[in-house]
Amino acid sequence: MNRSTEGWLHGLLGVVIFSGSLPATRLAVADFSPLFLTAGRAVVAGLLAALLLAALRPARPGRAELMALAVIALGVVVGFPLLTALALQHISAARSIVFIGLLPLATAAFGVLLGGERPRPAFWLFSGAGAAAVAGFALLHGTPGALAGDALMVAAVLLCGLGYAKGAVLSRRLGGWQVISWALLLALPPMAVFALVTLPPSWQGIHGPAWLGFGYVSVFSMLVGFIFWYRGLALGGIAGVGQLQLLQPFLGLVLAALLLGEAIPWTMLATTGVVVLCVAGARRHA
């Protein structure tokens, strides 16, 4: 198997794993507070990452790489989990997945900013059309509570796009699993303190589905998915493998319908389809 094919396969596995993140988060926030969920999942994943680093003993990152890892941790370990957990208290998992359609575009935009590339004007045309489709859907089908959740999802997508772009660049030097492992280890001390401060007052009110959601986002969304994803980006190329994120909204909507029984109106499907087409056009002209 050549490097490119291996990269696409790893990237596809990462996307499939990430597709379950928002439905699992929706299950978890039914009984866990968003603050504890954010800290708790980071602690579990951080401890697993520490074991992985201790067993395999990779080279330690340098000072400049530590700064990049701090940005990655802010984006994908703290920012995205916290903001999506807060958003899912106001909106359904299916609605939140519409905004995930903008994640490839956010990743590409930060890649442009961080990599100094000069995309064609068509890139920004597609970018604006995709953002307008999401904004239009949110305004036409929103309530005050839903709009608060929508705003949190936009912020989450921006932070996650930054973390993806930074991680994709750094994974070429450190390796895919090393990037997410070092980022999790860097975030572990403050997240452990945060988890202790936000512990649930009682564990008796935590039901099975919430524990399943917590376990999924802690192990798979926070660590395993990133191992496959960053390795895929490193082997197959950021621009090429990154397009696999276009599958994530569709997979996420299917999971939201099957696991949570959430209704998927045709307007939501149509908006997701428009966003995917806009992102595909933007990536082509990036």
Please write the tens of the pLDDT for every residue from 246-267.
777 777 777 887 877 877 778 8
Tens digits of per-residue pLDDT, 27-43?
Answer: 999 999 999 999 999 99
pTM of the model: 0.84
Band of residue 240 on the pLDDT scale cut at 50, 70, 90? low
Containing structural domain, residue 273 = 3-284
What is the three-state SS of the chain? CCHHHHHHHHHHHHHHHHHCHHHHHHHHCCCCCHHHHHHHHHHHHHHHHHHHHHHHCCCCCCHHHHHHHHHHHHHHHHHHHHHHHHHCCCCCHHHHHHHHCCHHHHHHHHHHHHHCCCCCHHHHHHHHHHHHHHHHHHHHCCCHHHHHHHHHHHHHHHHHHHHHHHHHHHHHHHCHHHHHHHHHHHHHHHHHHHHHHCCCCCCCCCCHHHHHHHHHHHHHHHHHHHHHHHHHHHHHCHHHHHHHHHHHHHHHHHHHHHHHCCCCCHHHHHHHHHHHHHHHHHHHCC
Percent of the chain with pLDDT over 90: 41
pLDDT, mean of residues 95-124: 76
95 or 117: which carries more pLDDT confidence? 95
Q: How many domains does the chain have?
A: 1
Residue 283 has pLDDT above 70, yes or no: no
Which of 96-110, 173-187, 218-232 comes out lowest in average pLDDT? Answer: 96-110
